[in-house]
Structure 1
Amino acid sequence: MPDERNRSFDDLVAEGASVPTEGWDFSWFEGRATEARPSWGYAVSTAERLGRADAALDVQTGGGEVLDFALAEAARRPPLTVATEGWPPNVARATALLRPRGVAVVASPEDAPLPFADGTFDLVVSRHPVEARWAEIARVLENGGTYFAQHVGPGSVYELVEYFLGPQPEERRNARHPDRERRDAEAAGLEIVDLRAERLRMEFYDIAAVVHFLRKVIWIVPGFTVEAYLPQLRALHERIEAEGAFVAHSTRHLFEARKPGTSRTP
Protein backbone atom coordinates (compact mmCIF):
# COMPACT_ATOMS: atom_id res chain seq x y z
CA MET A 1 0.00 0.00 0.00
CA PRO A 2 1.26 3.56 -0.57
CA ASP A 3 2.77 5.50 2.33
CA GLU A 4 0.26 8.30 2.91
CA ARG A 5 1.60 9.42 6.28
CA ASN A 6 3.36 12.45 4.85
CA ARG A 7 0.25 13.67 3.05
CA SER A 8 -2.00 16.10 4.85
CA PHE A 9 -5.57 15.43 5.88
CA ASP A 10 -6.74 18.16 3.52
CA ASP A 11 -4.87 16.65 0.54
CA LEU A 12 -6.24 13.18 1.17
CA VAL A 13 -9.81 14.37 1.63
CA ALA A 14 -9.57 16.47 -1.53
CA GLU A 15 -8.36 13.44 -3.48
CA GLY A 16 -11.13 11.20 -2.18
CA ALA A 17 -13.70 13.88 -3.01
CA SER A 18 -12.48 14.33 -6.59
CA VAL A 19 -12.40 10.74 -7.88
CA PRO A 20 -15.31 10.00 -10.27
CA THR A 21 -17.91 7.66 -8.78
CA GLU A 22 -19.61 6.30 -11.92
CA GLY A 23 -19.82 2.56 -12.41
CA TRP A 24 -18.73 -0.33 -10.21
CA ASP A 25 -15.04 -0.30 -11.07
CA PHE A 26 -13.21 -0.32 -7.73
CA SER A 27 -9.66 -0.39 -9.14
CA TRP A 28 -8.89 3.05 -7.67
CA PHE A 29 -8.95 1.47 -4.20
CA GLU A 30 -5.95 -0.76 -4.97
CA GLY A 31 -3.43 -0.12 -2.20
CA ARG A 32 -5.92 2.16 -0.40
CA ALA A 33 -8.52 -0.36 0.79
CA THR A 34 -9.22 -4.08 0.61
CA GLU A 35 -12.30 -6.29 0.79
CA ALA A 36 -12.33 -10.06 0.89
CA ARG A 37 -14.42 -11.69 -1.85
CA PRO A 38 -17.16 -14.28 -1.31
CA SER A 39 -16.10 -17.86 -1.88
CA TRP A 40 -18.74 -18.53 -4.55
CA GLY A 41 -17.20 -16.25 -7.23
CA TYR A 42 -20.29 -14.43 -8.44
CA ALA A 43 -18.96 -13.15 -11.78
CA VAL A 44 -17.57 -16.53 -12.86
CA SER A 45 -20.73 -18.33 -11.74
CA THR A 46 -22.80 -15.80 -13.69
CA ALA A 47 -20.68 -16.47 -16.78
CA GLU A 48 -21.48 -20.18 -16.52
CA ARG A 49 -25.22 -19.46 -16.41
CA LEU A 50 -25.07 -16.93 -19.24
CA GLY A 51 -23.46 -19.62 -21.37
CA ARG A 52 -26.63 -21.71 -21.03
CA ALA A 53 -29.20 -18.90 -21.31
CA ASP A 54 -31.21 -17.76 -24.33
CA ALA A 55 -32.63 -14.51 -22.94
CA ALA A 56 -30.85 -12.83 -20.02
CA LEU A 57 -31.50 -9.68 -18.01
CA ASP A 58 -29.03 -7.93 -15.69
CA VAL A 59 -30.97 -5.73 -13.24
CA GLN A 60 -29.25 -2.58 -11.93
CA THR A 61 -26.08 -3.23 -13.90
CA GLY A 62 -24.22 -0.17 -12.59
CA GLY A 63 -21.52 0.67 -15.11
CA GLY A 64 -21.89 -2.77 -16.71
CA GLU A 65 -18.48 -3.99 -15.55
CA VAL A 66 -19.61 -7.27 -13.98
CA LEU A 67 -21.85 -8.21 -16.90
CA ASP A 68 -19.09 -7.31 -19.35
CA PHE A 69 -16.67 -9.64 -17.55
CA ALA A 70 -19.23 -12.44 -17.31
CA LEU A 71 -20.10 -12.24 -21.02
CA ALA A 72 -16.40 -12.30 -21.92
CA GLU A 73 -15.99 -15.48 -19.84
CA ALA A 74 -19.18 -17.22 -20.99
CA ALA A 75 -18.91 -20.23 -23.28
CA ARG A 76 -21.53 -18.56 -25.49
CA ARG A 77 -23.51 -15.36 -25.32
CA PRO A 78 -27.29 -15.49 -24.97
CA PRO A 79 -29.01 -14.47 -28.22
CA LEU A 80 -30.78 -11.77 -26.19
CA THR A 81 -29.08 -9.91 -23.35
CA VAL A 82 -30.50 -6.75 -21.79
CA ALA A 83 -29.46 -4.66 -18.78
CA THR A 84 -31.29 -2.02 -16.76
CA GLU A 85 -29.81 0.90 -14.83
CA GLY A 86 -31.40 3.85 -13.06
CA TRP A 87 -28.60 6.39 -12.55
CA PRO A 88 -28.00 8.44 -15.73
CA PRO A 89 -24.17 8.59 -15.52
CA ASN A 90 -24.10 4.80 -15.17
CA VAL A 91 -26.54 4.36 -18.07
CA ALA A 92 -24.10 6.15 -20.35
CA ARG A 93 -21.12 4.24 -18.98
CA ALA A 94 -22.82 0.85 -19.25
CA THR A 95 -24.06 1.58 -22.77
CA ALA A 96 -20.55 2.42 -23.97
CA LEU A 97 -19.13 -0.72 -22.37
CA LEU A 98 -21.87 -3.23 -23.26
CA ARG A 99 -23.03 -2.13 -26.70
CA PRO A 100 -20.00 -3.79 -28.40
CA ARG A 101 -21.18 -7.08 -26.83
CA GLY A 102 -24.64 -6.65 -28.29
CA VAL A 103 -26.28 -5.73 -24.98
CA ALA A 104 -29.10 -3.19 -24.90
CA VAL A 105 -28.99 -0.98 -21.79
CA VAL A 106 -32.40 0.33 -20.76
CA ALA A 107 -32.72 3.37 -18.49
CA SER A 108 -35.18 2.29 -15.80
CA PRO A 109 -35.60 3.74 -12.28
CA GLU A 110 -34.89 1.26 -9.51
CA ASP A 111 -38.40 1.59 -8.07
CA ALA A 112 -40.26 1.33 -11.41
CA PRO A 113 -41.74 -1.84 -12.91
CA LEU A 114 -39.31 -3.64 -15.18
CA PRO A 115 -40.07 -2.47 -18.75
CA PHE A 116 -40.44 -5.96 -20.22
CA ALA A 117 -43.28 -8.34 -21.01
CA ASP A 118 -44.20 -11.24 -18.77
CA GLY A 119 -42.01 -14.32 -19.18
CA THR A 120 -39.38 -12.63 -21.37
CA PHE A 121 -36.23 -14.07 -19.77
CA ASP A 122 -34.98 -17.48 -18.76
CA LEU A 123 -32.21 -15.87 -16.65
CA VAL A 124 -32.28 -12.73 -14.50
CA VAL A 125 -29.06 -11.73 -12.71
CA SER A 126 -28.10 -8.86 -10.43
CA ARG A 127 -25.11 -7.89 -8.33
CA HIS A 128 -25.93 -5.75 -5.29
CA PRO A 129 -29.38 -4.49 -6.26
CA VAL A 130 -30.61 -1.65 -4.07
CA GLU A 131 -33.74 -3.74 -3.55
CA ALA A 132 -34.81 -7.04 -5.04
CA ARG A 133 -38.29 -6.40 -6.40
CA TRP A 134 -39.42 -9.99 -6.24
CA ALA A 135 -42.83 -9.67 -7.88
CA GLU A 136 -41.25 -7.99 -10.93
CA ILE A 137 -38.44 -10.54 -11.10
CA ALA A 138 -40.97 -13.38 -11.01
CA ARG A 139 -43.14 -11.68 -13.63
CA VAL A 140 -40.40 -11.26 -16.27
CA LEU A 141 -39.00 -14.77 -15.74
CA GLU A 142 -40.39 -17.53 -17.93
CA ASN A 143 -41.61 -20.71 -16.26
CA GLY A 144 -38.56 -22.68 -15.21
CA GLY A 145 -36.39 -19.53 -15.36
CA THR A 146 -33.69 -18.65 -12.83
CA TYR A 147 -32.85 -15.60 -10.72
CA PHE A 148 -29.15 -15.61 -9.79
CA ALA A 149 -27.78 -12.73 -7.74
CA GLN A 150 -25.40 -11.52 -5.08
CA HIS A 151 -27.08 -9.29 -2.51
CA VAL A 152 -25.71 -7.00 0.16
CA GLY A 153 -26.55 -8.55 3.50
CA PRO A 154 -27.66 -7.20 6.88
CA GLY A 155 -25.41 -4.91 8.89
CA SER A 156 -22.94 -4.53 6.02
CA VAL A 157 -20.01 -2.19 6.78
CA TYR A 158 -21.79 -1.19 9.98
CA GLU A 159 -18.54 -0.33 11.71
CA LEU A 160 -18.32 2.58 9.25
CA VAL A 161 -22.06 3.34 9.33
CA GLU A 162 -22.12 3.62 13.11
CA TYR A 163 -18.86 5.54 13.28
CA PHE A 164 -20.55 8.35 11.35
CA LEU A 165 -24.23 7.92 12.34
CA GLY A 166 -24.09 6.32 15.77
CA PRO A 167 -26.03 3.20 16.82
CA GLN A 168 -28.68 2.22 14.30
CA PRO A 169 -32.11 0.67 14.92
CA GLU A 170 -32.40 -3.06 14.48
CA GLU A 171 -34.91 -2.54 11.67
CA ARG A 172 -32.28 -0.86 9.52
CA ARG A 173 -29.56 -3.31 10.53
CA ASN A 174 -31.68 -6.30 9.50
CA ALA A 175 -33.41 -4.78 6.48
CA ARG A 176 -31.46 -7.00 4.06
CA HIS A 177 -31.55 -10.19 6.10
CA PRO A 178 -31.49 -13.28 3.84
CA ASP A 179 -34.29 -14.95 5.81
CA ARG A 180 -36.55 -11.98 5.13
CA GLU A 181 -35.60 -11.96 1.45
CA ARG A 182 -36.26 -15.70 1.24
CA ARG A 183 -39.79 -15.15 2.57
CA ASP A 184 -40.38 -12.29 0.12
CA ALA A 185 -39.10 -14.34 -2.83
CA GLU A 186 -41.31 -17.28 -1.91
CA ALA A 187 -44.30 -14.97 -1.48
CA ALA A 188 -43.72 -13.86 -5.09
CA GLY A 189 -43.94 -17.48 -6.20
CA LEU A 190 -40.24 -18.33 -6.54
CA GLU A 191 -38.56 -21.48 -5.24
CA ILE A 192 -35.23 -21.05 -3.46
CA VAL A 193 -32.57 -23.30 -4.98
CA ASP A 194 -29.53 -21.94 -3.10
CA LEU A 195 -28.99 -19.30 -0.41
CA ARG A 196 -25.57 -18.74 1.17
CA ALA A 197 -24.21 -15.91 3.31
CA GLU A 198 -20.72 -14.74 4.25
CA ARG A 199 -19.18 -11.97 6.38
CA LEU A 200 -16.04 -10.48 4.81
CA ARG A 201 -13.21 -8.34 6.19
CA MET A 202 -12.61 -4.85 4.83
CA GLU A 203 -9.71 -2.49 5.58
CA PHE A 204 -9.39 1.23 4.83
CA TYR A 205 -5.77 2.41 4.81
CA ASP A 206 -6.35 6.16 4.45
CA ILE A 207 -9.08 8.75 4.76
CA ALA A 208 -9.18 9.31 0.99
CA ALA A 209 -10.43 5.73 0.58
CA VAL A 210 -13.14 6.32 3.19
CA VAL A 211 -14.31 9.52 1.49
CA HIS A 212 -14.42 7.94 -1.96
CA PHE A 213 -16.19 4.83 -0.65
CA LEU A 214 -18.91 6.88 1.06
CA ARG A 215 -19.42 8.97 -2.09
CA LYS A 216 -19.60 5.87 -4.28
CA VAL A 217 -21.71 3.58 -2.09
CA ILE A 218 -24.30 6.17 -1.21
CA TRP A 219 -26.52 4.03 1.05
CA ILE A 220 -23.79 3.55 3.68
CA VAL A 221 -24.12 7.10 5.05
CA PRO A 222 -27.09 8.62 3.20
CA GLY A 223 -26.51 12.23 2.17
CA PHE A 224 -22.78 12.04 2.94
CA THR A 225 -20.70 15.12 2.14
CA VAL A 226 -17.22 16.01 3.32
CA GLU A 227 -18.47 19.30 4.74
CA ALA A 228 -21.20 17.67 6.84
CA TYR A 229 -18.83 15.13 8.40
CA LEU A 230 -15.55 17.03 8.53
CA PRO A 231 -14.93 16.59 12.30
CA GLN A 232 -15.56 12.83 12.12
CA LEU A 233 -13.33 12.51 9.06
CA ARG A 234 -10.49 14.36 10.76
CA ALA A 235 -10.77 12.19 13.87
CA LEU A 236 -10.82 9.02 11.75
CA HIS A 237 -7.77 10.22 9.80
CA GLU A 238 -5.88 10.68 13.08
CA ARG A 239 -7.03 7.25 14.27
CA ILE A 240 -5.81 5.54 11.08
CA GLU A 241 -2.45 7.30 11.31
CA ALA A 242 -2.04 6.29 14.95
CA GLU A 243 -3.47 2.75 14.89
CA GLY A 244 -3.42 1.57 11.26
CA ALA A 245 -6.21 0.50 8.95
CA PHE A 246 -9.86 0.98 9.89
CA VAL A 247 -11.45 -2.48 9.86
CA ALA A 248 -15.04 -3.14 8.88
CA HIS A 249 -16.97 -6.16 7.59
CA SER A 250 -19.23 -6.47 4.57
CA THR A 251 -21.98 -9.07 4.38
CA ARG A 252 -23.06 -10.77 1.17
CA HIS A 253 -25.50 -13.50 0.28
CA LEU A 254 -25.91 -15.54 -2.86
CA PHE A 255 -29.41 -16.13 -4.14
CA GLU A 256 -30.50 -18.69 -6.69
CA ALA A 257 -34.25 -18.93 -7.15
CA ARG A 258 -36.40 -20.65 -9.76
CA LYS A 259 -39.82 -19.86 -11.17
CA PRO A 260 -41.87 -23.07 -11.07
CA GLY A 261 -43.07 -24.65 -14.27
CA THR A 262 -41.62 -26.06 -17.45
CA SER A 263 -39.40 -23.83 -19.54
CA ARG A 264 -40.40 -23.19 -23.12
CA THR A 265 -36.67 -23.15 -23.95
CA PRO A 266 -35.35 -26.58 -25.06
Structure 2
Amino acid sequence: MAKPVPPPPVRHSRFETLVAEADAAPIDGWDFSWLDGRATEARPSWGYQRLLGERLARVDSALDLETGGGEVLDGCPTLPPLMVATESWPPNILRASARLRPRGVAVVSTSDLPFADDVFDLVSSRHPVTTPWPEIARVLRPGGTFFSQQVGPASVFELVEFFLGPQPLSTRESRSPSHAVAAASAAALEVVDLRSESLRTEFFDIGAVVYFLRKVIWMVPGFTVEQYLPKLRELHELIERDGPFVAYTTRFLIEAHLIE
Protein backbone atom coordinates (compact mmCIF):
# COMPACT_ATOMS: atom_id res chain seq x y z
CA MET A 1 0.00 0.00 0.00
CA ALA A 2 1.34 3.37 -0.96
CA LYS A 3 2.14 5.73 1.87
CA PRO A 4 -0.26 8.67 2.18
CA VAL A 5 1.11 11.84 0.71
CA PRO A 6 1.27 14.63 3.32
CA PRO A 7 -0.54 17.82 2.41
CA PRO A 8 1.64 20.60 1.05
CA PRO A 9 2.76 23.16 3.61
CA VAL A 10 0.52 26.16 4.01
CA ARG A 11 2.04 29.14 2.29
CA HIS A 12 1.13 32.50 3.77
CA SER A 13 1.22 35.67 1.77
CA ARG A 14 3.54 38.48 2.79
CA PHE A 15 0.51 40.42 3.99
CA GLU A 16 -0.68 37.57 6.21
CA THR A 17 2.80 36.99 7.63
CA LEU A 18 3.40 40.64 8.49
CA VAL A 19 -0.03 41.09 10.05
CA ALA A 20 0.15 37.87 12.10
CA GLU A 21 3.60 38.75 13.41
CA ALA A 22 2.53 42.23 14.50
CA ASP A 23 -0.75 41.01 15.98
CA ALA A 24 1.12 38.54 18.19
CA ALA A 25 3.83 40.96 19.37
CA PRO A 26 3.67 42.02 23.04
CA ILE A 27 2.61 45.64 23.52
CA ASP A 28 3.11 46.21 27.26
CA GLY A 29 5.41 49.01 28.33
CA TRP A 30 6.17 52.11 26.31
CA ASP A 31 9.12 50.72 24.38
CA PHE A 32 8.77 50.96 20.59
CA SER A 33 11.96 49.05 19.72
CA TRP A 34 9.86 46.39 17.93
CA LEU A 35 9.43 49.00 15.19
CA ASP A 36 13.16 49.42 14.60
CA GLY A 37 13.73 49.16 10.86
CA ARG A 38 9.98 49.08 10.21
CA ALA A 39 8.96 52.63 11.06
CA THR A 40 10.64 55.92 11.82
CA GLU A 41 9.52 59.03 13.68
CA ALA A 42 11.52 62.23 13.91
CA ARG A 43 12.12 63.38 17.47
CA PRO A 44 11.36 66.87 18.81
CA SER A 45 14.40 69.10 18.79
CA TRP A 46 14.13 70.07 22.46
CA GLY A 47 15.03 66.65 23.95
CA TYR A 48 12.40 66.08 26.63
CA GLN A 49 14.27 63.43 28.63
CA ARG A 50 17.39 65.60 28.90
CA LEU A 51 15.37 68.63 29.98
CA LEU A 52 13.43 66.55 32.50
CA GLY A 53 16.68 65.18 33.92
CA GLU A 54 18.00 68.70 34.42
CA ARG A 55 14.88 69.67 36.36
CA LEU A 56 14.81 66.53 38.48
CA ALA A 57 18.39 67.17 39.59
CA ARG A 58 17.37 70.56 41.02
CA VAL A 59 14.37 69.58 43.18
CA ASP A 60 13.72 67.68 46.41
CA SER A 61 10.42 66.06 45.41
CA ALA A 62 8.80 65.10 42.10
CA LEU A 63 5.86 63.21 40.67
CA ASP A 64 5.82 61.61 37.22
CA LEU A 65 2.28 60.97 35.92
CA GLU A 66 1.42 58.10 33.55
CA THR A 67 5.01 56.90 33.68
CA GLY A 68 4.34 53.94 31.36
CA GLY A 69 7.02 51.32 31.91
CA GLY A 70 9.24 53.92 33.56
CA GLU A 71 11.56 54.12 30.56
CA VAL A 72 11.78 57.91 30.37
CA LEU A 73 12.16 58.49 34.09
CA ASP A 74 14.79 55.77 34.40
CA GLY A 75 16.81 57.49 31.70
CA CYS A 76 17.31 60.52 33.94
CA PRO A 77 20.65 60.25 35.75
CA THR A 78 19.65 61.97 39.02
CA LEU A 79 16.36 61.60 40.87
CA PRO A 80 15.26 63.64 43.90
CA PRO A 81 15.04 62.17 47.42
CA LEU A 82 11.24 61.93 47.09
CA MET A 83 10.34 60.52 43.67
CA VAL A 84 6.88 59.13 42.94
CA ALA A 85 5.50 57.74 39.68
CA THR A 86 1.91 56.80 38.83
CA GLU A 87 0.62 54.30 36.29
CA SER A 88 -2.77 52.61 35.88
CA TRP A 89 -2.28 49.92 33.22
CA PRO A 90 -1.34 46.62 34.95
CA PRO A 91 1.36 45.44 32.48
CA ASN A 92 3.05 48.83 32.71
CA ILE A 93 2.83 48.87 36.51
CA LEU A 94 4.86 45.65 36.67
CA ARG A 95 7.47 47.00 34.27
CA ALA A 96 7.71 50.36 35.99
CA SER A 97 8.02 48.77 39.42
CA ALA A 98 10.81 46.45 38.32
CA ARG A 99 12.68 49.30 36.64
CA LEU A 100 12.14 52.17 39.10
CA ARG A 101 11.87 50.74 42.60
CA PRO A 102 15.57 49.78 42.71
CA ARG A 103 16.23 53.51 42.21
CA GLY A 104 14.06 54.44 45.19
CA VAL A 105 10.99 55.48 43.20
CA ALA A 106 7.57 54.83 44.76
CA VAL A 107 5.38 53.45 41.96
CA VAL A 108 1.69 53.96 42.70
CA SER A 109 -1.01 52.03 40.84
CA THR A 110 -3.58 54.75 40.16
CA SER A 111 -5.07 56.99 37.50
CA ASP A 112 -5.75 59.70 40.08
CA LEU A 113 -3.53 61.88 42.26
CA PRO A 114 -4.10 60.46 45.78
CA PHE A 115 -1.56 62.79 47.37
CA ALA A 116 -1.72 65.58 49.92
CA ASP A 117 -1.70 69.24 48.95
CA ASP A 118 1.56 71.14 48.35
CA VAL A 119 3.82 68.05 48.26
CA PHE A 120 5.87 68.22 45.06
CA ASP A 121 8.33 70.71 43.62
CA LEU A 122 7.90 69.22 40.14
CA VAL A 123 5.15 67.29 38.37
CA SER A 124 5.99 65.81 34.97
CA SER A 125 4.28 63.72 32.34
CA ARG A 126 5.26 62.54 28.88
CA HIS A 127 2.34 62.04 26.50
CA PRO A 128 -0.44 61.98 29.10
CA VAL A 129 -3.83 60.80 27.88
CA THR A 130 -5.41 63.60 29.89
CA THR A 131 -3.90 66.38 32.00
CA PRO A 132 -5.66 66.94 35.36
CA TRP A 133 -4.69 70.60 35.67
CA PRO A 134 -6.54 71.41 38.94
CA GLU A 135 -5.12 68.32 40.65
CA ILE A 136 -1.62 69.10 39.42
CA ALA A 137 -1.92 72.60 40.87
CA ARG A 138 -3.19 71.14 44.14
CA VAL A 139 -0.24 68.79 44.73
CA LEU A 140 2.41 71.31 43.64
CA ARG A 141 4.13 73.49 46.20
CA PRO A 142 3.79 77.26 45.65
CA GLY A 143 6.17 78.16 42.84
CA GLY A 144 6.38 74.50 41.76
CA THR A 145 6.62 73.41 38.13
CA PHE A 146 4.61 71.28 35.75
CA PHE A 147 6.74 70.03 32.84
CA SER A 148 5.29 67.91 30.04
CA GLN A 149 5.69 66.78 26.46
CA GLN A 150 2.27 66.19 24.95
CA VAL A 151 0.68 64.85 21.80
CA GLY A 152 -0.45 67.78 19.68
CA PRO A 153 -3.46 68.30 17.43
CA ALA A 154 -4.24 65.90 14.56
CA SER A 155 -1.18 63.79 15.33
CA VAL A 156 -0.67 60.99 12.77
CA PHE A 157 -4.12 61.82 11.40
CA GLU A 158 -3.08 60.74 7.93
CA LEU A 159 -3.18 57.22 9.34
CA VAL A 160 -6.22 57.80 11.57
CA GLU A 161 -8.29 59.14 8.68
CA PHE A 162 -7.19 56.32 6.40
CA PHE A 163 -9.08 53.97 8.72
CA LEU A 164 -11.81 56.23 10.13
CA GLY A 165 -12.37 58.74 7.35
CA PRO A 166 -12.29 62.54 7.70
CA GLN A 167 -12.53 63.71 11.30
CA PRO A 168 -14.45 66.83 12.44
CA LEU A 169 -12.52 69.98 13.18
CA SER A 170 -13.28 69.67 16.88
CA THR A 171 -11.53 66.28 16.94
CA ARG A 172 -8.56 67.50 14.90
CA GLU A 173 -8.02 70.46 17.25
CA SER A 174 -8.83 68.72 20.53
CA ARG A 175 -5.18 68.62 21.60
CA SER A 176 -4.30 72.16 20.57
CA PRO A 177 -1.60 73.79 22.74
CA SER A 178 -3.91 76.78 23.13
CA HIS A 179 -6.36 74.56 25.03
CA ALA A 180 -3.55 73.50 27.38
CA VAL A 181 -2.55 77.11 28.01
CA ALA A 182 -6.14 78.05 28.85
CA ALA A 183 -6.55 75.06 31.18
CA ALA A 184 -3.27 75.83 32.92
CA SER A 185 -4.27 79.45 33.46
CA ALA A 186 -7.63 78.38 34.89
CA ALA A 187 -5.76 76.25 37.44
CA ALA A 188 -3.51 79.16 38.52
CA LEU A 189 -0.53 77.90 36.56
CA GLU A 190 1.49 80.39 34.51
CA VAL A 191 2.91 78.98 31.26
CA VAL A 192 6.56 80.00 30.93
CA ASP A 193 7.53 77.86 27.91
CA LEU A 194 5.51 76.49 25.00
CA ARG A 195 6.99 74.88 21.87
CA SER A 196 5.38 72.88 19.05
CA GLU A 197 6.73 70.76 16.21
CA SER A 198 5.37 68.61 13.36
CA LEU A 199 7.51 65.52 12.81
CA ARG A 200 7.69 63.22 9.80
CA THR A 201 6.68 59.63 10.52
CA GLU A 202 7.05 56.70 8.08
CA PHE A 203 5.62 53.17 8.18
CA PHE A 204 7.60 50.77 5.98
CA ASP A 205 5.29 47.76 6.16
CA ILE A 206 1.78 46.86 7.27
CA GLY A 207 3.11 45.05 10.33
CA ALA A 208 4.41 48.36 11.66
CA VAL A 209 0.94 49.87 11.22
CA VAL A 210 -0.75 46.99 13.04
CA TYR A 211 1.70 47.15 15.95
CA PHE A 212 1.37 50.93 16.23
CA LEU A 213 -2.44 50.86 16.27
CA ARG A 214 -2.51 48.04 18.83
CA LYS A 215 -0.13 49.92 21.12
CA VAL A 216 -1.37 53.50 20.73
CA ILE A 217 -4.96 52.54 21.40
CA TRP A 218 -6.53 55.99 21.15
CA MET A 219 -5.58 56.46 17.49
CA VAL A 220 -8.21 54.07 16.14
CA PRO A 221 -10.32 53.19 19.19
CA GLY A 222 -11.19 49.52 19.42
CA PHE A 223 -8.77 48.58 16.63
CA THR A 224 -8.51 44.89 15.82
CA VAL A 225 -7.03 43.18 12.79
CA GLU A 226 -10.30 41.36 12.12
CA GLN A 227 -12.40 44.52 12.10
CA TYR A 228 -10.09 46.44 9.78
CA LEU A 229 -8.78 43.62 7.61
CA PRO A 230 -9.98 45.12 4.28
CA LYS A 231 -8.43 48.51 5.07
CA LEU A 232 -5.21 46.84 6.22
CA ARG A 233 -4.98 44.93 2.95
CA GLU A 234 -5.62 48.13 1.02
CA LEU A 235 -2.89 49.94 2.92
CA HIS A 236 -0.49 47.01 2.48
CA GLU A 237 -0.95 47.17 -1.27
CA LEU A 238 -0.42 50.94 -1.20
CA ILE A 239 2.86 50.59 0.71
CA GLU A 240 4.06 47.75 -1.51
CA ARG A 241 3.35 49.84 -4.61
CA ASP A 242 4.34 53.38 -3.53
CA GLY A 243 6.73 52.94 -0.61
CA PRO A 244 6.43 54.04 3.04
CA PHE A 245 3.18 55.50 4.31
CA VAL A 246 3.98 59.02 5.51
CA ALA A 247 2.19 60.76 8.37
CA TYR A 248 3.04 63.67 10.65
CA THR A 249 3.29 63.41 14.42
CA THR A 250 2.65 66.61 16.37
CA ARG A 251 4.20 67.31 19.75
CA PHE A 252 4.27 70.26 22.10
CA LEU A 253 6.34 71.03 25.16
CA ILE A 254 4.73 72.97 27.98
CA GLU A 255 6.21 74.24 31.23
CA ALA A 256 4.13 76.09 33.81
CA HIS A 257 4.75 77.43 37.30
CA LEU A 258 2.21 77.49 40.09
CA ILE A 259 1.50 81.13 40.88
CA GLU A 260 2.56 81.87 44.45
TM-score (norm 2): 0.94
Match of 2:87 in 1: 85
SS at match of 1:224: coil
Matched, 1:47 2:58: no
User: Matched residue of 1:118: which SS?
Assistant: coil
Query: Segments of 4+ in structure 1 off by > 4 A?
Result: none
Which residue matches 2:237?
238
**Unpaired stretches in structure 2, ≥5 consecutive residues:** 1-11
Q: How many residues align?
A: 249
Local SS of the residue matching 1:221:
coil
Distance (whole Å) between structure 2 residues aligned to residue 222 and residue 259 of structure 1: 34
Identity over aligned pairs, percent: 64
**How far apart are residue 252 of structure 1 and its match?**
0.3
Q: Match of 2:8?
A: none
Structure 2 Cα separation of the partners of residues 104 and 15 of structure 1: 35
Structure possessing the higher radius of gyration over alpha carbons:
2
Match of 2:39 in 1: 33
* 2:22 aligns with one of 16, 34, 42: 16
Shift of 1:28: 1.1
Q: Secondary structure at the match of 2:254?
A: strand
1:20 and 1:241 map into 2 onto residues whose CA distance is 25
Gaps of 5+ in 1: 1-5, 262-266
Per-residue CA deviation, residues 77-136 of structure 1 (Å, 9 max, x unaligned), is 200000001111111111011111111110112xx3x01001110000100000111001
What is the alpha-carbon root mean square deviation over aligned residues? 1.0
* Equivalent of residue 105 in structure 1, options 96, 104, 107: 107
CA distance in 1, matches of 2:16, 2:130: 35
- Looking at structure 1, the residues matched to 43 and 75 of structure 2 have their Cα atoms a distance apart, in angstroms, of 16
* Amino acid of the structure 2 residue aligned with 1:156: S
Shift, 1:27, TM fit: 1.0
Q: 1:264 maps to what in 2?
A: none
Secondary structure at the aligned position of 1:132 is classed as coil
Q: Which residue of 2 aligns with 1:96?
A: 98
Which region of structure 1 is more displaced relative to structure 2, 226-235 or 23-32?
23-32
Shift in Å at residue 7 of structure 1?
6.3
Secondary structure of the structure 2 residue equivalent to 1:176: coil
> Partners in 2 of 1:139 and 1:175 — Cα distance?
24
Counterpart residue identity of residue 47, structure 2: G
Q: Distance in 1 between matches of 2:92 and 2:32?
A: 14
Task: Name the CA distance, whole Å, in 2 between partners of 1:228 and 1:119.
Answer: 47
Deviations 1:223-257 (A, max 9, x none): 00000000000010111010000000000000100
Inter-CA distance 25–234: structure 2 relative to 1 (3 Å threshold) = same
